[in-house]
Amino acid sequence: MTLEVTIKNRAFVLHCSGALYWVEKRMLLISDVHLGKISHFRKFGSALPGNAIFRNFLKLDSVVEYFNPESICFLGDLFHSTLNNEWQLFEDWVGVTQLPIVLVAGNHDIISPHKYEGLGITVVSEWLLDGFLLTHHPEERENYFTLSGHIHPAVLLEGMGRQYLKLPCFFRSPNQMILPAFGEFTGNYVMEPAENDIIYVITKEDVVLIEQK
């Protein structure tokens, strides 16, 4: 279900949900939940099941219960678009969770920061913390290790009979880690790892380090 890694002498736990737990900070990092996306597409006629709306919240509850963090940082694209009926579900979730929350705003986060601040959520454009850059868009910055999202990374795995399997992953390069999309129905983008990149694929039940050939 999890895999522990060390980055800059700090301990992090990768969870099969796509969440990342910073052990020393007792902070849960989650990227690209895209709340409201299912309601948005259903509104315009997409045949998505109505109960799918609740899956993101059930997934959030599960990972919060597992780690029991002291705070949560969303690394952008928390909400997919404008306000819809999932905002009330989010308000209810925040009220029940009762943890300090920081949103590092992403390109989809177009809802007014005042709406988040009304829930006690801090909204920032980036966060520099103990030698780490917490941001939405991947970037490399001197003297910092970046934790980001946005890309929805995945990799193609090739089987013995030339079968291919596409799986979401944590994509780690020497100076940054890109988190997989946490939300349901988000899609993903196949990455091409370079020689020094490290890939941790996620399945429904596990996190697996992929050894490069």
Q: What is the pLDDT of residue 47?
A: 46
Handedness of CA 179, 183, 185, 186 (dihedral sign): negative
The dihedrals phi and psi of 96, each to the nearest 5 degrees, come to -80, -40
Q: What share of the chain is helix, strand, coil (3-state, %, to 5)?
A: 20, 35, 45
Q: Residue 83: pLDDT band by 50, 70, 90 thresholds?
A: low
pLDDT at 41 > cutoff 70: no
pLDDT in tens, 139-169: 999 999 999 999 999 999 876 656 788 999 9
Least confident of 9-18, 33-42, 119-128: 33-42
Tell me how many domains the chain contains: 1
Rounded Cα–Cα distance for residues 81 and 108 (Å): 6
Strands 101-104 and 122-124: parallel
Q: Where residue 131 sits, what CATH number does that domain have?
A: 3.60.21
> Residue 78 pLDDT more than 50?
yes
Question: What integer is the mean pLDDT of 59-70?
Answer: 97
Contacts of 73 (CB under 8 A, 6+ apart): 27, 28, 29, 30, 101, 102, 103, 104, 127, 134
Q: Which two tokens stand for residue 19?
A: 């969440």
| Strand pairing class (27-30; 71-74) | parallel
Query: Which has more pLDDT, 126 or 48?
Result: 126
Range of the domain at 123: 2-210
The encoded tokens of residue 83 equal 């306000």
